[in-house]
Amino acid sequence: MSAPDGPVLELEEVTKRYGGVTALDRVSIGARRGELLAVVGPSGCGKTTLLQVIAGLTDVDAGRVAIGGRVVAGAGAWVPPERRRAGVVFQEHALFPHLTVADNVGFGLPRAADRRTRCAEALDLVRLGHLARRYPHELSGGEQQRVALARALAPRPAVVLLDEPFSNLDANLRLQLRQETATVLRASDATAVFVTHDRQEALSLGDRVAVLNDGALEQVDHPAVVFHTPRTRFVATFIGEADLLAGDVSDGVAHTVVGALAVTGVGADGPVDVMVRPHEVVVDVVREANATVGHSEFRGAHVLHVLALDAGGELRCEVPHTRALDQGARVRVTVDASHRLAAFPAVNRPTSSPAGTAPGG
């Protein structure tokens, strides 16, 4: 059991299986009061199962779950969902169409004297107090999502669980709502677990980011650490665009075909693959070229170019749209990250082989 100042939410060695499939594999994670924990991973990685285990919608096969210092699953304990103090915001909102906005928000509240007051407070928190008498079909998709959030917050839960709540919204509304949701959660000092498959959403929302893959927790840390210093190849290439550049490490420096790069993450000298993100690649049109510009992808403010290295392999670079690089142009490629780059021991490459391949991420 956690101390009063310890984690509000704790999962310890949680395992959940469905037949021969392990949906969660010894997952240990926690969240403190007021923290927004973003859980990200590909489809089928166990994200939704993780929320269901916390909420009490499914039991664990091993390990334990504690909320507010109270064991709610595992270790011989089982607390039903309605007694876990966990508010859930579903992907489909799950509002009752025959109830007004106020009645939807107050649905899970006890019939106490302050019920109406608490409903009003929760609606004011999401800036929808003026719509209290409307019905769900009279609201926009974004307004319905905010009502769902108000309903989850109204009982003052110990933890709020959000299951990809913005996935059905258009891009502009999704961006607006995720910013508003983060503001509301922090204003209410809520502990929240936010599940998403959108890596940018996870990085921008989470105080910490947890990366799941095939039911296993690959890494959990602050967004900048996960992005710049991934622990595994999967995290490196999933959490953002990345290429792996072959090199040989000596005393913390990887010698590659684009120069010497300071690296971290490897404990011994030898062949490595260095993670390089497109914005860290520098290209110059000079006589001493070492690459050729391949195809390009226009992204509005920036253009992504694929560079074919003379030594073999490719690197991607991202440049402002105002800087034109013609296909077939000869360029000099270097890397400028202003920090140590993550590196991983090379797989199936002997120490004596030349560095120079850059498989895409």
Work out the pLDDT band at 114, boundaries 50, 70, 90: confident
Q: Which residues pair with 124 in a beta bridge?
A: none
Q: What is the mean pLDDT of residues 274-289?
A: 94
- Residue 358 pLDDT > 70: no
Quick check: 223 and 202 in contact, CB under 8 A?
yes
Work out the pLDDT band at 359, boundaries 50, 70, 90: very low
Quick check: 8 and 191 in contact, CB under 8 A?
yes
* Cα 288-293-299 angle, rounded to 5 deg: 135
Summarised one tens digit per residue, pLDDT across range 7-38 is: 999 999 999 999 999 999 999 999 999 999 99
Contacts with 198 (C-beta within 8 Å, 6 or more apart), sequence order: 40, 167
Model pLDDT, residue 115: 86
Domains of the chain: 9-85+157-233 (3.40.50.300), 242-345 (2.40.50.140)
Cα first-last separation, the chain: 41
Segment holding 231, helix H or strand E: none
Work out the pLDDT band at 5, boundaries 50, 70, 90: low
**Average pLDDT value over all residues in the chain:** 90
Put simply, whether the predicted model's pTM sits higher than 0.85 gets the answer yes
Summarised one tens digit per residue, pLDDT across range 252-263 is: 999 999 999 999
Model pLDDT, residue 75: 84
- Residue 267 pLDDT > 90: no
Model pLDDT, residue 1: 43
Residue 162 CA from chain centroid, whole number: 13
Model pLDDT, residue 20: 92
Work out the pLDDT band at 324, boundaries 50, 70, 90: confident
Model pLDDT, residue 193: 97
- When mean pLDDT is compared across 61-65, 74-78, 217-221, the lowest value belongs to 74-78
Work out the pLDDT band at 170, boundaries 50, 70, 90: confident
Instruction: Indicate the residue type of 246.
Output: A
Question: Residue for token digits 């693959």?
Answer: 273
- Residue 352 pLDDT > 50: no
Model pLDDT, residue 113: 62
Work out the pLDDT band at 350, boundaries 50, 70, 90: low
Work out the pLDDT band at 133, boundaries 50, 70, 90: very high
| Sheet architecture: strand order including 291-298 | 281-284, 330-335, 291-298, 302-309, 314-320
Model pLDDT, residue 91: 77
CA–CA distance, 132 with 121 (Å, rounded to integer):
11
